[in-house]
Structure 1
């Protein structure tokens, strides 16, 4: 079955080459780039002048929803199947990506969570890595991830009143001085053919450091301020948990592996990824790009959603407790909606079924926390709330999304400082943003510069006050 899935997924790849399961990631990427550039240029030459479609004024004025105007090759979001990473669904990733422990032939269906290091390989290459290749990445990130005392001191001097996401953005901006891309570009030692390589180098350096930077912020903001030294040999997720102060808690390590994998990418148009892509199009280095992405992610309509869900649930529990009736849940939903607020954790701009990322975490909760009172309440809510939301005419997507479940799991496994949840989201999303940035530089994509129009333009457009030639030029 596994080989059949892999072969089917590879059908869409053109110009196939021999895939060496022992080659390190950068070697695989270096071999792929000229092949994919050739396909990219052939596509532009063949179809570059074709018209893709028309848009409505409502789309232009309503946040450009539904307008396909970005090139993004790593993930798509299907209304039914959810996010697809290089063509693979969440359940397929759970089955096929390597785990921490190399499985035997008998237990290949190991229920361990996949390592985010393997998803990084997949997003860069489109190929499923071998266990050996993920071990190479895990070791490389462990070595590259050490942070300087200077950076730790900078973080510890930040005002504790700051949100952890503000601290993260400032820390990454401070670390920008280590950018290899920026240094070599300023010294006129780069050309377009090797932009990708030093973007890759910066990206790996930054991704490797993120758990240690984030853990330092966590200790400074919420604990005693004393950082915990890194521990050699840990994977990316376990290093994060260890340095936060959760030593040896394997269930939490497994949750972080799941969380950091399923949040890694979500098409190219959502705020954080688009923000990093936009800054990168001006040849901003990975540190500048991710600072921008994190600023976007910190917005209440984006990365803060999981903490809003948890606050909403805790407010309910404070009044009603955990042993409640369906009617009490329905009344709470009614009060929220009729007051003009959204029920956090439900609905999605694209999905028209329960988010597969939510379902993945739902199964995780059933496996590890089946008897936990908050998880039982949450699962009761996810049965009741969609039915109630369907009764409101203006709600088109009543289904639970990934934010519905992630915060509650983190809370019950010990990370109860919900302001920090968006930092965890940011760590994960760096995988998608930075792998995309590497390919943007490899393809030589230009600076992003869409045209804009004022209200007079739209009014005149439909009153025949704009000459036909100008309409065509637009």
Structure 2
């Protein structure tokens, strides 16, 4: 059965569950909201629904119920690789089922027909100043494709049907995930390789194709596969996923929605953090370990010097997690296997051994463990992708998978426009004095 038909069956089976919950149990209370949460960015307020992934504070991310190791182990692998293809992961995110090799091959074939980027997209990106940030270029490229949105065309046709509208979201979403690595590679070559573009190889999977298009060798193909899967989704509350969901809830098409999500991802408190961590790590290496091997004693003193000077240790701590980010562990395992003697990785590895203890003793962080950003830049740097303002583009390619899977299901289940209720500061002050809202 083709992916879209499998998805149609699952949506039809799932839709009555959400309908029943809203109709029969809509008044059941599942949480309370504090003033701290209201002022502090709605942290931990349970008011979003997704079955694509769930972030447990202690366990970390689960994709469709599977941990990262379980996901990598269960999905069909790329030929000669220890890692799954991105195409197999896309099938898994959409359906919750581990695909057969035949089903993966069908997605591979489908993406080959979708990955041809309209020439006007490249022409539009070329009109931008060459020193524009690569994330601005990616956002412009996605927005430019909006003219071909099948969802928008359906809505404008007057034949819009709530129960079947998801089908055109699926079409737009599939086009976006198939094309975004091609656009990202174009931007890399335009900005950093003198506009020497490399054609798509129709025999390669997405990760391998991306590696080839940016001039990388065989080893980087697994880097791309791993990186895009690890960065694909982190439940619905992060800025890029939530923004994409919010914009689409107004029935803006997936191109508008994901361009907005990318603009959120570009922020230094979200997707740009990996760039800032790498910058800090390189400066740290230059200052403390330029001509000597990093030791526990050396790194311990250096970290205390950093904290005592009022600075933070970037890449450590997370808004939700209260343990080491499993995405960090997955990348660490890759480094231990493929680049154990890399000086920058050896430094990052030693910081990982020392920093949690230092931060715990310091006592000013809720989570002294590393997140995904503490490791990801080191891998790119090792393989020669040293243009770190491009790293968020790589994040954006992977995050498209989760955001587009979520949008397809949002429309399949007919979720409403998102519209939280606001309060005023005097209201909060009154409720604070009363000990709560009465």
TM-score by length of 1: 0.89
Q: Does 1:443 align with 2:413?
A: yes
Could you report, residue by residue, the CA deviation over 1:73-96 in whole angstroms, capped at 9, with x for unpaired residues? 211111221001111000101110
For residues 350 and 40 of structure 1, the distance between their equivalents in structure 2, rounded to whole angstroms, comes to 26
The farther-off stretch of 309-318 and 370-379 is: 370-379
SS in 2 for 1:152: helix
> Which residue pairs with 1:317 in the alignment?
285
Q: How does 1:153-232 map to 2 (within 5 A)?
A: 153-232=123-202
Offset of residue 224 of structure 1: 0.7
For residues 280 and 109 of structure 2, the distance between their equivalents in structure 1, rounded to whole angstroms, comes to 40
> Which residue pairs with 1:139 in the alignment?
109
- Corresponding residue to 1:67 among 45, 70, 82: 45
Q: Does 1:32 align with 2:18?
A: no
Offset of residue 142 of structure 1: 2.1
- Corresponding residue to 1:297 among 261, 265, 283: 265
**What 5-or-longer segments of structure 2 have no aligned partner?**
none
Q: Does 1:384 align with 2:362?
A: no
Could you report, residue by residue, the CA deviation over 1:339-390 in whole angstroms, capped at 9, with x for unpaired residues? 4433111111111111111111111111111222222222111111111111
Could you report, residue by residue, the CA deviation over 1:179-217 in whole angstroms, capped at 9, with x for unpaired residues? 111122112132112210000000101111111100111
Q: Does 1:130 align with 2:108?
A: no
Q: Does 1:374 align with 2:344?
A: yes
Q: How does 1:459-474 map to 2 (within 5 A)?
A: 459-464=429-434
Offset of residue 464 of structure 1: 4.9
SS in 1 for 2:55: strand
Indicate how the Cα distance of structure 1 residues 309 and 465 shifts in structure 2: closer, same or farther if over 3 A, else same: closer
Contact 2:264 2:270 in 1 (8 A): yes
Contact 2:86 2:228 in 1 (8 A): yes
> Which residue pairs with 2:321 in the alignment?
351
SS in 1 for 2:54: strand
Indicate how the Cα distance of structure 1 residues 51 and 196 shifts in structure 2: closer, same or farther if over 3 A, else same: same
Question: For this pair of structures, how many residues does the alignment match?
Answer: 436
For residues 29 and 422 of structure 1, the distance between their equivalents in structure 2, rounded to whole angstroms, comes to 30
Contact 1:165 1:298 in 2 (8 A): yes
SS in 2 for 1:288: helix
The farther-off stretch of 177-186 and 450-459 is: 177-186
For residues 17 and 414 of structure 2, the distance between their equivalents in structure 1, rounded to whole angstroms, comes to 13
Indicate how the Cα distance of structure 1 residues 465 and 429 shifts in structure 2: closer, same or farther if over 3 A, else same: closer
Q: How does 1:18-57 map to 2 (within 5 A)?
A: 23-57=1-35
Indicate how the Cα distance of structure 1 residues 370 and 463 shifts in structure 2: closer, same or farther if over 3 A, else same: closer
- Corresponding residue to 1:452 among 418, 422, 425: 422
> Which residue pairs with 1:264 in the alignment?
232
Offset of residue 71 of structure 1: 1.3
Could you report, residue by residue, the CA deviation over 1:406-449 in whole angstroms, capped at 9, with x for unpaired residues? 11011101211111111010010011111110111111111000
Could you report, residue by residue, the CA deviation over 1:66-116 in whole angstroms, capped at 9, with x for unpaired residues? 1111112211111221001111000101110111128xxxxxxxx711222
For residues 414 and 422 of structure 2, the distance between their equivalents in structure 1, rounded to whole angstroms, comes to 24
Contact 2:285 2:347 in 1 (8 A): no
Contact 2:295 2:350 in 1 (8 A): no
SS in 2 for 1:193: coil
Contact 2:31 2:45 in 1 (8 A): no
For residues 462 and 212 of structure 1, the distance between their equivalents in structure 2, rounded to whole angstroms, comes to 53
The farther-off stretch of 267-276 and 172-181 is: 172-181
SS in 2 for 1:264: coil
For residues 353 and 359 of structure 1, the distance between their equivalents in structure 2, rounded to whole angstroms, comes to 11
Offset of residue 326 of structure 1: 2.6
For residues 311 and 159 of structure 2, the distance between their equivalents in structure 1, rounded to whole angstroms, comes to 53
CA RMSD of aligned residues (A): 1.7
Q: Does 1:255 align with 2:223?
A: yes
TM-score by length of 2: 0.96
For residues 390 and 302 of structure 2, the distance between their equivalents in structure 1, rounded to whole angstroms, comes to 26
> Which residue pairs with 1:245 in the alignment?
215
Offset of residue 65 of structure 1: 1.1
- Corresponding residue to 1:77 among 28, 34, 55: 55
Runs of 4+ deviating beyond 3 Å: 338-341, 462-466
